[in-house]
């Protein structure tokens, strides 16, 4: 095997392909990236850990076709550190020689025949705008659990019905729901899948940020349940999470007799300032009355802070307390100038939605439900 490729092209492709490699692989070959050069001038790079696979395709000048397996992380670090000149990669015996300008690296190879076969990309179920997908995934994954002892809650439930995709996630303390449109490959397409939030976030950032279209494929009920994503010559697959996701939609209140509207950016800044005195597991309180909301934290002999902001309140005065980080996560995910907080009771979950103006309608495409913390005083 022998080929020449541009430094930036190689570095981007290897870094992307190697990004999901396990730090402690169950088998040594799974720490590798498989490089396959074909006579048509295409280099295929692949990684796989039995759960997630990644493939990327780049153009190159191929002198001799062939396939090798080398350490993915090491090749990624080397390719990023090379000078900005063409890179020559050649297999010599059991070693791969990487030459770029005056730099020369020798890498050991691993046995290609021991590398597992990668799962194929599921048939394309539809396409979605990369930018919309990236934004929607970022909004929802903030509420997914990071506790691997509850694998169900580390996933994002993806519900597809015709041209509408609904993303849902919860860690039991908050719940996020985001709806967006896509173009199904067949009209009336319907499916439900549970995708790891970490995988979905990674895919959305790496494939969706280019601004083009992302192809999505789902394969369920045919042995291996997979989701696949493809964009710009890169594709990735991931096994779906097994299990029945809790019925969380019913947690959103049917009606909310009280709601308040506050400018989002000032509320975020005030919450950050006031939460400086909120020690670990200490809530930040929001007290709404006509024309204002007062944020405060700390009590008794502890450090205390308070700040008042303008707010529009519809309904009775109400006071709630939240985990400061969960509050900031929700406010940060909204991406709108104003936030509407909808209440049913001081101790019941509060629904956050975005608004474009102080007296406008709220946008229910994204809903963030946060469980308040009971407080005394």
Question: Which pLDDT tens digit goes with each residue over 30-88?
Answer: 999 999 999 999 999 999 988 899 999 999 999 999 999 999 999 999 999 999 999 99
Q: Is the pLDDT score of 221 beyond 70?
A: no
Q: Is the pLDDT score of 350 beyond 70?
A: yes
Q: Return mean pLDDT, the chain.
A: 92
- pLDDT for 269 equals 97
- pLDDT for 222 equals 67
Q: Going edge to edge, which strands form the sheet with 2-5? A: 61-64, 2-5, 87-92, 95-100, 103-108
Q: Is the pLDDT score of 376 beyond 70?
A: no
- pLDDT for 205 equals 86
Q: What is the mean pLDDT of residues 286-311?
A: 91
**Cα separations (Å) of 112 from 44, 46, 51, 66, 127?**
14, 12, 19, 11, 34
169-178, 225-234, 266-275: which range is least confident on average?
225-234
Pair of tokens at residue 126? 């539809």
Q: Is the pLDDT score of 209 beyond 80?
A: no
Question: Which pLDDT tens digit goes with each residue over 121-174?
Answer: 899 999 999 999 999 999 999 999 998 888 899 999 999 999 999 999 999 999
Q: What is the mean pLDDT of residues 233-248?
A: 91
Strands (E), 220-349: 226-231, 234-239, 258-263, 284-289, 292-297, 305-310, 312-314, 318-322, 338-343
Cα 234 from chain centre = 17
Q: Is residue 210 exposed (0-12), middle (13-18) or buried (19+ Cβ within 10 Å)?
A: middle
Name the phi and psi angles at 314, rounded to 5. -115, 115
pTM for the model: 0.89
Pair of tokens at residue 4? 């020449």
Q: Is residue 4 exposed (0-12), middle (13-18) or buried (19+ Cβ within 10 Å)?
A: middle
Q: How far apart are CA 140 and CA 167, in angstroms?
A: 7
Q: How far apart are CA 89 and CA 216, in angstroms?
A: 33
Q: How far apart are CA 196 and CA 202, in angstroms?
A: 10
- pLDDT for 112 equals 94
Closest CA to 357 of 312, 309, 327, 294: 312
- pLDDT for 223 equals 65
* 208 vs 29: which has the higher pLDDT: 29
Q: How far apart are CA 13 and CA 215, in angstroms?
A: 19
Tell me the pLDDT band of 287, cut-offs 50, 70 and 90. Answer: very high
**Cα separations (Å) of 354 from 175, 195, 359?**
15, 26, 12
The number of residues in the chain equals: 377
Q: What is the mean pLDDT of residues 190-210?
A: 88
Q: How far apart are CA 257 and CA 344, in angstroms?
A: 6
Tell me the pLDDT band of 278, cut-offs 50, 70 and 90. Answer: confident
Q: Is the pLDDT score of 377 beyond 60?
A: no
Tell me the pLDDT band of 344, cut-offs 50, 70 and 90. Answer: very high
Helix, strand, coil in percent for the chain, rounding step 5: 25, 45, 35
- pLDDT for 232 equals 86
Closest CA to 19 of 44, 55, 58: 55
């Amino acid at each position: 095997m022998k080929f020449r490729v541009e430094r930036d092209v190689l570095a981007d492709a290897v870094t992307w392909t190697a990004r999901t490699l396990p730090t402690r692989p169950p088998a040594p070959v799974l720490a590798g990236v498989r490089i396959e050069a074909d006579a048509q001038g295409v280099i295929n790079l692949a990684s796989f850990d039995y759960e997630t696979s990644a493939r990327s395709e780049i153009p190159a000048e191929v002198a001799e076709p062939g396939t090798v397996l080398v350490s993915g992380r090491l090749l990624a670090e080397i390719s990023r550190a090379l000078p900005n000149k063409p890179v020559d990669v050649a297999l010599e015996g059991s070693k791969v020689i990487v030459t770029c300008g005056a730099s020369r690296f020798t890498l050991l190879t691993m046995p290609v025949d021991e590398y597992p076969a990668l799962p194929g990309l599921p048939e394309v179920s539809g396409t979605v705008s990369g930018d919309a997908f990236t934004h929607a995934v970022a909004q929802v994954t903030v509420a997914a659990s990071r506790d691997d002892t509850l694998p169900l809650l580390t996933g994002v439930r993806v519900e597809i019905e015709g041209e509408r995709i609904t993303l849902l996630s919860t860690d039991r303390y908050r719940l996020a729901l985001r709806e967006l449109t896509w173009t199904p490959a067949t009209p009336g397409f319907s499916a439900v899948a549970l995708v790891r939030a970490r995988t979905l976030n990674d895919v959305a950032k790496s494939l969706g940020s280019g601004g083009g279209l992302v192809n999505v494929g789902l394969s369920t009920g045919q042995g291996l349940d997979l989701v696949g994503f493809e964009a710009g010559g890169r594709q990735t697959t991931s096994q779906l999470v097994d299990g029945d996701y809790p019925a969380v939609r019913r947690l959103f209140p049917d009606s909310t007799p009280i709601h308040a509207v506050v400018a989002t950016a000032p509320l975020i800044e005030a919450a950050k300032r006031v939460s400086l005195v909120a020690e670990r597991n200490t809530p930040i309180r929001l007290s709404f009355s006509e024309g204002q909301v007062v944020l405060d934290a700390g009590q008794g002999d502890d450090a205390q802070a308070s700040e008042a902001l303008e707010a529009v309140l519809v309904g009775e005065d109400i006071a709630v307390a939240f985990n400061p980080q969960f509050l900031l996560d929700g406010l940060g995910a909204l991406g709108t100038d104003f936030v509407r907080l909808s209440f049913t009771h001081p101790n019941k979950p509060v629904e956050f939605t975005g608004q474009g103006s102080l007296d406008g309608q709220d946008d229910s495409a994204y809903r963030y439900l946060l469980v308040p913390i009971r407080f005394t005083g």
